[in-house]
Chain A
Amino acid sequence: MAGARPGDDRTAPLVHTAGPTPRSATVLDAAEVSRALTRIAHEVLERNKGPEGLVLMGIPRRGTHLARRLAERLAQVEPAFDAEACTGSLDVTLHRDDLRRNPTRTPEPTRLPATGIDDATVVLVDDVLYSGRTVRAALDALSDLGRPRAVRLAVLVDRGHRELPIRADHVGKNLPTSTAERVFVHLAETDGEDAVLIEGPTERHAEGEER
């Protein structure tokens, strides 16, 4: 389940009501987020042996912003890559298998590059990889839109706990977590700053294991 997306109103609000504010720690700061994205951009190009046929599809909402940033970095390295024309946004809401376990979500727009995705190498971009269910939904959504030559997955944070046989091709940071912890990705576009934060279980919840 998408517990990895606090700050995103599609998920149920955190239960902060009892006990003091949970502790949260910064895992990546703005410079580290930027370095991770630059590295991923180079990895994507290396893997693809150049920018030919590359299409970046971000999963709303933070994945869409990350895809745009990756595309800008690709264009810096390879001026032949047209960042605007090769970037899109892929809403997966209508393909999710956990709709009935969550409050009703409002679908976000899907935008395809003008050239479509047929025979392209599509790089799916998301902020956090957790259960893998979002990615599964994305693969289904993608197959309704066309037939890519290959699909790759790039994520800023992989926090483990997969429920499906899915792995990322490009990872900004592997972050071992417990399921009781929550991972926040903040981006300048949506949250005013670039950072990845990890938040422990609430004090009350963690009382027993506190030092």
Chain B
Amino acid sequence: MRHLLSTADLSRAEAVRVLDVAEQMAATQQREIKKLPTLRGRTVVNLFFEDSTRTRISFETAAKRLSADVITFSAKGSSVSKGESLKDTALTLQAMGADAVVIRHGSSGAPLRLARSGWTSGAVLNAGDGTHEHPTQALLDAFTLRRHLVGGGPGGGPAADRVGADLAGKHVVVVGDVLHSRVARSNVHLLHVLGARTTLVAPPTLLPIGVETWPCEVSYDLDAALRGDVQGPVDAVMALRVQLERMDAAYFPSAREYSRRYGIDAARLALLPPHASLLHPGPMNRGLEITAEAADGARSRIVEQVTNGVAVRMAALYLLLAGEDA
């Protein structure tokens, strides 16, 4: 791997390898001394043109735990607000010697542009681009699911039981604002590559054009999907954030109607088999797409997702920067 731009580019072997390396990285994060010397002397630039809390902090933590130097760049308060282009920003970072650029951008395709343009010689990691992809989020979701659904079962048995395994035969329901969600897109591709089935559930207004060509099923009825009427019993539900900041029109009549038809609450979770997990990429709109009771309940893996995010991003940085081809 040279860059990590999209889960659609990953083969099954590559995706499983990221999960396996992440498994070892997660083990090192249980220790008293969490820092490893692996990327000593390398520089990772976090280039954030859009607001982010957990992804930025997660990448920063991951790079620091591997002893890389981290430069964090937020568009707010930088020359970007004076009108500097992506190209000039990238050339500046290249002149400072960035070995890897972690980029989040409001425009779909910005990371690809950066990787293909020759503006920077470093590895490019997509940390979310517009409504396109967010590959490390999908990888950490898959990592979390594998820990709970494969091998030792809930909570995870020994890591050795999961190494090399994919998510074959598992069924994940993804519900919410699919239209604006790069997380949904990345997850659909990755879950497909890993052998899992995906059902997307959303009101018709929140589904993108062309969704019928994605490797998944689509339903408008959340209760039917959770009961297993669409693609069989459900192993996990992922609630997506309603991205109010991207909504330039009325996509549903009212928040109350949305949460009644597509919100995850305790009653809906009760429709699931006992082992099923609840995921949410965060940040949550409590009371809209998910109730507090569900988010803080026993099935919720939402806090664990954040922990796993560091391990998965350590694995991604390691695989992109550590070898001779890096």
Contacts and interface: CB of A to CB of B under 8 A. Distances in A.
Contact of A95 (B24, B27, B37): B37
A104 B21 CA distance: 11
A102 B28 contact: no
Interface stretch (B90-98, B107-115, B190-198, B316-324): B316-324
B227 interface: no
Given A91-B24, A94-B66, 12 more contacts: A102-B323, A104-B318, A104-B319, A104-B322, A105-B323, A106-B17, A107-B25, A109-B24, A110-B27, A110-B28, A144-B36, A145-B31
B250 interface: no
Contacts of B324: 100-104
B159 interface: yes
B22 to A, nearest CB: 10
B38 interface: yes
A104 B27 contact: no
Interface string A106-143: 11111000000000000000000000000000001000
Given A94-B36, A94-B37, A144-B33, A99 B323 contact: yes
B325 interface: yes
Secondary structure type dominating chain A contacts: loop
A43 to B, nearest CB: 31
Given A95-B38, A140-B37, A144-B33, A109 B326 contact: no
Given A106-B20, A107-B21, A109-B159, A99 B38 contact: yes
9 contacts: A94-B318, A100-B323, A103-B323, A104-B319, A106-B17, A108-B24, A109-B24, A140-B37, A144-B35
A109 B160 contact: yes
A93 B31 CA distance: 16
Q: Interface size bucket, B side? A: 20 to 34
B158 to A, nearest CB: 9
A99 B322 CA distance: 6
Nearest to B67: A94
Top 10 nearest A-B pairs by Cβ distance? Answer: A104-B323, A107-B24, A144-B33, A94-B38, A94-B36, A99-B322, A103-B323, A100-B324, A104-B322, A101-B324
Nearest to B319: A104
Interface of B: 17, 20-21, 24-25, 27-28, 31, 33, 35-38, 66, 159-160, 318-319, 322-326
- Among A91, A94, A105, A108, which residue has the most Cβ atoms of chain B within 10 A? A94
Contacts of A110: 24, 27-28
Contacts of A105: 322-323
Nearest to B39: A99
Contacts of A91: 24
Contacts of B35: 144
A103 B323 CA distance: 5
- Among A100, A107, A108, A140, which residue has the most Cβ atoms of chain B within 10 A? A107
Contacts of B325: 103-104
Interface string A167-201: 00000000000000000000000000000000000
A140 B322 CA distance: 18
B168 to A, nearest CB: 21
Contacts of B36: 94-95, 144
- Among B17, B38, B318, B322, which residue has the most Cβ atoms of chain A within 10 A? B322
A117 B326 CA distance: 35
Nearest to B33: A144
Interface in A63-119: 91, 94-95, 99-110
Nearest to B322: A99
A181 B31 CA distance: 39
B27 A109 contact: yes
A145 B325 CA distance: 30
B126 to A, nearest CB: 19
B13 to A, nearest CB: 11
